[in-house]
């Protein structure tokens, strides 16, 4: 568990649940979804989500009105920071990373930063610390690839589901009936041991896993999403649900309400148990930390889904 001073929060780092992946802007700040901004905002506002992961890829769009609407609706946003100048080569200087994160922070639009390719940097801890010095108390790291030591003081340690890793389009649910492999569960336990109190996040990796996921039959997609959602508590991880990406959106796949229902059914249970230290906290303190996320978002889910029914 991060200290109060390190995390900038009291008395612990925030809960993380009801999270979706919505990739809205590319690395030039251009709009990605085929749907209009109005339809996308309506979809995201009605999703029941609390967090939207990676709404933008490094560049802040010149028109931030969509992001402002999402923040006004109570959604907490992140964007991607690549600590390399070109793909996975040419590491950026720490000062440049600090300046980039500071620019993000000064917009007031983003609640946390997602550091991509984190474990490909031998100085990953310095990268994390630079982003935090820029003002972001909450940092997420992509740990799907790379061999550097797991950084500490991180809010979200994120990694790809192993069952689809590398873009595998034939998930072996006979061998892994929970949709979780030993590689997944071992990594989760390692995160809890190395950085106690942080969140281990298993998700579909972009682009390879999301692209592979899109090619699966709809019933297989929904089977995997259900397994990943309902097994969060069993394996002590949190997941991020796909909503919008270049190759996927839940509107065209008729899956928006299906995903929203999974979040509403399973994520509430996870969020109350995902930080072990909560067991020793006063009940009044626990209620204060969790009530706004759990009850507000659950109520918001019901009201918004009733307003906008999807066919999925």
The whole-angstrom separation of Cα 255 and Cα 148 is 37
Domain holding 296, by residue range, is 4-307
CATH of the domain at 16: 3.20.20.60
Asked if residue 254 belongs to a domain, the reply is yes
User: Which residue has tokens 């920071």?
Assistant: 81
pLDDT tens for the chain, 312 residues: list them.
Answer: 222 233 333 345 689 999 999 999 998 999 999 999 999 999 999 999 999 999 999 999 999 999 999 999 999 999 999 999 976 779 999 999 999 999 999 999 999 999 999 999 999 999 999 999 999 999 999 999 999 999 999 999 999 999 998 777 889 999 999 999 999 999 999 999 999 989 999 999 988 899 999 999 999 999 999 999 999 999 999 999 999 998 999 988 889 999 999 999 999 766 555 443 333 333 333 333 344 344 334 444 333 433 333 223
Residue 63 lies in a domain: yes
| Number of structural domains the chain divides into | 1
3-state SS, residue 85: strand
Residue 32, helix vs strand vs coil = coil
The pTM is what? 0.83
Q: Quick check: is 298 in a domain?
A: yes
Asked if the structure places residue 312 within a domain, the reply is: no
Q: How big, in percent rounded to 5, are the helix, strand and coil portions of the chain?
A: 40, 15, 40
């Amino acid at each position: 568990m991060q200290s109060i001073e390190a995390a900038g929060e009291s008395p612990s780092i925030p809960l993380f649940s009801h999270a979706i992946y919505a990739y809205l802007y590319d690395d030039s700040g251009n709009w990605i979804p085929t749907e209009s901004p109005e339809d996308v905002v309506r979809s995201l506002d009605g999703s029941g989500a609390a967090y939207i992961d990676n709404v933008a890829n490094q560049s802040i769009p010149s028109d931030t009105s969509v992001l402002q609407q999402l923040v006004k609706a109570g959604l907490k946003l992140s964007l991607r920071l690549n600590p390399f100048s070109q793909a996975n080569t040419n590491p950026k200087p720490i000062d440049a990373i600090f300046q980039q994160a500071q620019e993000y922070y000064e917009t007031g639009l983003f609640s946390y930063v997602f550091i991509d390719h984190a474990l490909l940097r031998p100085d990953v801890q310095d990268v994390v610390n630079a982003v935090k010095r820029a003002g972001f108390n909450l940092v997420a790291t992509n740990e799907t690839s790379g061999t550097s030591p797991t950084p500490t003081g991180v809010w979200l340690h994120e990694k790809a589901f192993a069952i689809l890793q590398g873009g595998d389009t034939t998930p072996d649910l006979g061998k892994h009936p929970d949709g979780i492999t030993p590689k997944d569960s071992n990594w989760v336990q390692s995160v809890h041991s190395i950085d106690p109190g942080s969140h281990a996040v298993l998700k579909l990796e972009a682009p390879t896993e999301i692209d592979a996921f899109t090619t699966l039959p709809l019933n297989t997609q929904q089977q995997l999403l259900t397994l990943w959602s309902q097994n969060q508590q069993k394996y002590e991880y949190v997941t991020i649900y796909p909503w919008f990406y270049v190759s996927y959106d839940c509107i065209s796949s008729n899956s928006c309400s299906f995903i929203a229902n999974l979040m509403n059914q399973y994520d509430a249970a996870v969020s109350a148990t995902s930080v072990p230290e909560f067991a020793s906290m006063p009940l009044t303190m626990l209620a204060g930390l969790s009530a706004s996320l759990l009850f507000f978002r659950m109520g918001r889910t019901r009201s918004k889904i009733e307003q906008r029914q999807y066919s999925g």
